[in-house]
Amino acid sequence: MTSNSCKRASWSGQLAFVLASAASAIGLGNLWRFPYLAARYGGGMFIAVYLALVVTLGFTLMLTEIAIGRMTKQSQLTAYSRLRGGWGVLGLVATVIPLLITPYYCVIGGWVLYYLKTYCIMAFSGVSVMGEAAAGSGDFFGAFVASPFAPFGYGMVFVLACAGVIVLGVKNGIEKSNLVMMPVLFVMAVAISLYVVFMPGSGEGLKYYLVPNMDCLRDAKGSFSLALLGKTVLGAMGQMFYSLSLAMGIMITYGSYMNREDSIERCVRRIELFDTIIAVVAGLMIIPVVYMFAVKTGTPVETAMNAGPGLMFITLPRVFATLGAVGPWLGLAFFLLVTFAAATSAISLLEACVASVCDLLGLERKPATFFTTALVMFLATFSALGFGPWADVRVFGMQFLDFFDFVTNSVLMPITAAATCVFVGFVIGPKTIADEVRACGREFRSEALYRVMVRYFAPALVTAILVSETCRALGLFGWSI
Between 213 and 409, CB nearer to ligand PFF: 409
Q: Which of 18, 22, 28, 304 binds ligand PFF (CB under 6 A)?
A: 28
User: Would you give the distance in Å from CA 165 to the centre of its chain?
Assistant: 19
Contact 415, 422 (CB under 8 A): no
Distance in angstroms (rounded) separating the CA atoms of residues 374 and 376: 5
Sign of the CA dihedral running 190, 193, 199, 204: negative
**Helical ranges in 429-476 per DSSP H:** 430-437, 447-452, 458-474
Per CB under 6 A, the segment of 26-34, 70-78, 305-313, 427-435 that binds ligand PFF is 26-34
Q: Is 409 in the site for ligand PFF (CB under 6 A)?
A: yes
Q: How far is the CB of 248 from ligand PFF (least distance, A)?
A: 7
Please give the full DSSP string across 110-145, using - where no structure is assigned: HHHHHHHHHHHHHHHH---TT-GGGTTHHHHHHHHH
For ligand PFF, the closer CB: 345 or 369:
345
Residue type, 152: F
Neighbours of 29 (CB within 10 A): 23
Rank residues 36 and 105 by Cβ distance to ligand PFF and give the closer one.
105
- Site size for ligand PFF, by CB under 6 A? 13
Taking the CA atoms of residue 128, residue 134, residue 136 and residue 141 in that order, the dihedral angle to the nearest 10 degrees is: 90
* Contact by Cβ (8 Å): 282, 30: yes
Binding residues for ligand PFF restricted to 458-477, rule: CB under 6 A: none
User: In this structure, what are the phi and psi dihedrals at residue 143, rounded to the nearest 5 degrees?
Assistant: -65, -40
Q: Would you say 481 and 235 are in contact if contact means Cβ atoms under 8 Å apart?
A: yes
Closer residue to ligand PFF in complex, CB, 268/363:
268
Closest among 65, 330, 320 to 191, alpha carbons compared: 330
Nearest of 191, 199, 477, 463 to residue 333 by alpha carbon: 191
Query: What value does the CA radius of gyration of the chain take, rounded to a whole number of Å?
Result: 22
Partners of residue 224 on adjacent β-strands: 218
Question: Minimum distance from CB of 243 to ligand PFF (Å)?
Answer: 5
- At 325 the three-state DSSP class reads coil
Q: Applying CB under 6 A, does 41 fall inside the site for ligand PFF?
A: no
Q: Which is nearer to ligand PFF, 25 or 336 (CB)?
A: 25
d(CA 38, CA 369): 38
**Minimum CB distance to ligand PFF, residue 344 (Å):** 9
25 binds ligand PFF (CB under 6 A): yes
Nearest CB to ligand PFF, comparing residues 41 and 104: 104
Q: Which is nearer to ligand PFF, 30 or 178 (CB)?
A: 30
| Binding of ligand PFF by 339 (CB under 6 A) | no
Choose between 373 and 409: whose C-beta lies nearer to ligand PFF: 409
What whole-number distance in Å separates Cα of residue 54 and Cα of residue 276? 9
Provide, rounded to whole angstroms, the least separation between the CB of residue 449 and ligand PFF. 23
Q: How many CB atoms lie within 10 A of CB 296?
A: 11
Q: Can you spell out the DSSP letters for 399-427?
A: -HHHHHHIIIIIIIHHHHHHHHHHIIIII
| Contacts of ligand PFF in 104-163 (CB under 6 A) | 105
The least distance separating ligand PFF from the CB of residue 40, rounded to whole angstroms, comes to 18
Indicate whether 101 belongs to the interface with ligand PFF (CB under 6 A).
yes
Taking the least distance from each CB to ligand PFF, the nearer of 243 and 256 is 243
The mark string for 230-269 relative to ligand PFF (x by CB under 6 A, - otherwise) is ------------xx-x------------------------
Site for ligand PFF in 389-408 (CB under 6 A): 408
Among the candidate windows 25-33, 134-142, 311-319, 433-441, which touches ligand PFF by CB under 6 A? 25-33
Residue 30 binds to ligand PFF (criterion: CB under 6 A): yes
Q: Are 381 and 218 in contact (CB under 8 A)?
A: no
- Contact region with ligand PFF (CB under 6 A), list: 14-22, 28-36, 182-190, 265-273: 28-36
User: Which one, 130 or 189, has the nearer CB to ligand PFF?
Assistant: 189
Using rule CB under 6 A, residue 178 touches ligand PFF: no
Nearer to ligand PFF, 27 or 35 (CB): 27
Give the contacts of 355 (CB within 8 A, at least 6 positions apart): 75, 253, 256
Which residues within the stretch 54-83 sit at the binding site for ligand PFF (CB under 6 A)? none
- Would you tell me which residues interact with ligand PFF (CB under 6 A)? 25, 27-30, 101, 105, 242-243, 245, 345, 408-409
